[in-house]
Amino acid sequence: MSNNITLVIPTIEEAKTELMGLFSLMYDAYDVEAFPKARDFFTRNNKEIDNFLINDLIRFHMKQYLLDCGIFAEDDIDPLANNGIALKYKGYHIRVLKADHSYLPFPSVSDTKKQFYNQQLSFYQILNASEDDLGNRFTRPNILILWEPNGNSYSYVTLYIACPKTCGKYPFSMDTHFFGAVKHPATTVQTDMFADVEDELGIEKKPDLPKGEHKDDDNDLYNLRRED
């Protein structure tokens, strides 16, 4: 048996599909548990939201929600700010962190996170490596799930998925195999339902008119346009 293990990097769509169950849980965790309980803490104490404290409260309640759902999640503690959650899911070693301006947060002085960004294999990945008939071994890469609230209100969240590639001494040294937002399942379901209705009624979507132009059509169901 070979001691070498090859990382199999999926496409972003493949990773989204494989991890969609986890993303659904995480959106539920934020909407149902983490944000309401974090907000209630400040409401009960008649205090304005503290952006540093609420991040830790959200992380704590998200972790508890995942644990209650049977996902093994643990604190991912950094010497500085931006503590996160570490978990294992479907062969992936995943870290959940708060996004930094809609992108990956720089690990700074955390050697552990830099190793993660540089795809250093964990014992979990080695243990879960698959093997082909020739004895070649394969495993899944480290994955980052980033969460970003809508400004200071924190009333809703956007989740991102990233597969880090390299990370050096400075932020500009960070690179990824892929990075992108993952839509809220409720949005995806509504879009799919709308598409099903279109198909059933035989409606063909018309191309967008140039900006400033408008065409009246009493039978045009797209006068009410949806925003993706």
Q: What pLDDT is attached to residue 132?
A: 81
- Does residue 222 lie in a domain region? no
Number of domains the chain contains: 1
Classify strands 157-166 and 142-149 as parallel, antiparallel or unpaired.
antiparallel
The domain in which residue 45 lies consists of: 5-186
Say if residues 142 and 124 touch (Cβ distance below 8 Å). no
In a domain, 199, yes or no: no
Instruction: Grade residue 190 by pLDDT with cuts at 50, 70 and 90.
Output: very low
pLDDT given at position 188: 58
In this structure, is residue 120 part of a structural domain? Answer: yes
pLDDT tens-digit map of 79-121: 445 578 999 898 899 999 999 999 999 987 788 889 999 998 8
In angstroms, the CA 89 to CA 20 distance is 11
Q: Beta-carbon neighbour count of residue 8 at 10 Å?
A: 13
Q: Is residue 227 part of a domain?
A: no
Q: Flag whether 101 is in a domain.
A: yes
- Check: CB of residue 116 under 8 Å from CB of residue 142: yes
Q: What is the pTM of this model?
A: 0.77
Residue 219 has what DSSP assignment? Answer: T
The Cα–Cα gap between 199 and 101 comes to: 38
pLDDT tens per residue, range 194-215: 444 455 555 555 454 444 444 4
Does residue 170 carry a pLDDT above 60?
yes
Please check whether residue 20 lies inside any domain of the structure. Answer: yes
Comparing 209 with 7, the larger pLDDT belongs to 7
Q: How would residue 175 be classed by pLDDT, with cut points 50, 70 and 90?
A: very high
Q: Give the lowest-confidence range in 10-19, 44-53, 103-112, 180-189.
A: 180-189
What tens digit of pLDDT does each residue of 111-167 get?
888 999 999 887 777 777 888 877 888 889 999 999 999 888 888 899 999 999 999
Residue 70 lies in a domain: yes
Instruction: For residue 210, tell me if it sits in a domain.
Output: no
